[in-house]
Amino acid sequence: MESDSNFFSLWQLGCLVFIVIKIIVICMIEDNLRQPCWNDTDWLYVQVLSSAIESVRPKYVRECIGKRKFHLERVFSYELYYKWQRLLTHKKNNPEKLMLNAELTKHYDKLNRYKFPDLVLHGNYANREKQYLICEIKSSRNQIKGNALKKDVESLYGGVIELGYHCGIFIYLGSKVTNIVSRIRNVLHDFANYEEGRYLFIGVNGIAPHYEIL
């Protein structure tokens, strides 16, 4: 009986720690993230995405950052798509009746090339109305070096500046975020029309997301 009691106490402690972490994350999102360039609807959709990310079970993150031969960002991406899509079916979470699409072909006129962002939240794929969120997802297991990182950030930058998306979001699967955040900022600052506050970094490690404005 005593061992059962100890196990129950540890379980309660674990639940309490989890709840505290969630509260801290929610407070951080509420206090630090909202930008002047985001209206109420922009902010709502960022919060819905945040909720979707937090609802993805840690095992899907571990699949992408563990010691495997292949880079499995799709394992996380597909699960995030599923969670996000479910939240968007609720009217209160999707007042603009937006569509969530994955790896949709986008043509960047100024770059004269096609891009395939991992996730986009928009009105539809036939025009450029109601362009809200454009996301790129990368794992720490995927060696994001030099030009490879620039291509991903360029996809977000072009989505915001040229295609009219309200926010470009870089979702990084891994625990060491300081270096990658610095590198992303450096790439963004090299672009002529970079506007601070239009980009968001979300680091996902299976515990609590890490958010930074870019």
Domain total in the chain: 2
At 115-151, the pLDDT tens digits run 788 999 999 877 788 999 999 999 887 666 667 788 8
pLDDT at position 192 is 83
Query: What is d(CA 66, CA 77) in angstroms, rounded to the nearest whole number?
Result: 16
At 43-90, the pLDDT tens digits run 999 999 999 999 999 888 887 776 665 556 888 999 999 999 999 999
Residue 113 sits in the same domain as residue 19: no
129 contact partners, CB below 8 Å, separation of at least 6: 122, 123
Angle at 94 between CA 37 and CA 62, to 5 degrees: 85
Structural domain span for residue 97: 36-213
Length of the chain as a residue count: 214
Which three-class secondary structure state does DSSP give residue 6?
A: helix
Query: What is d(CA 183, CA 145) in angstroms, rounded to the nearest whole number?
Result: 10
pLDDT at position 81 is 96
Residue 49 sits in the same domain as residue 25: no
Residue 109 sits in the same domain as residue 183: yes
The percentage of residues in the chain with a pLDDT greater than 90, rounded to a whole number, is 40
- Main-chain phi, psi angles of 137, to 5 degrees: -120, 125
List, in sequence order, every residue forming a beta bridge with 131; answer none if it has no partner: 122
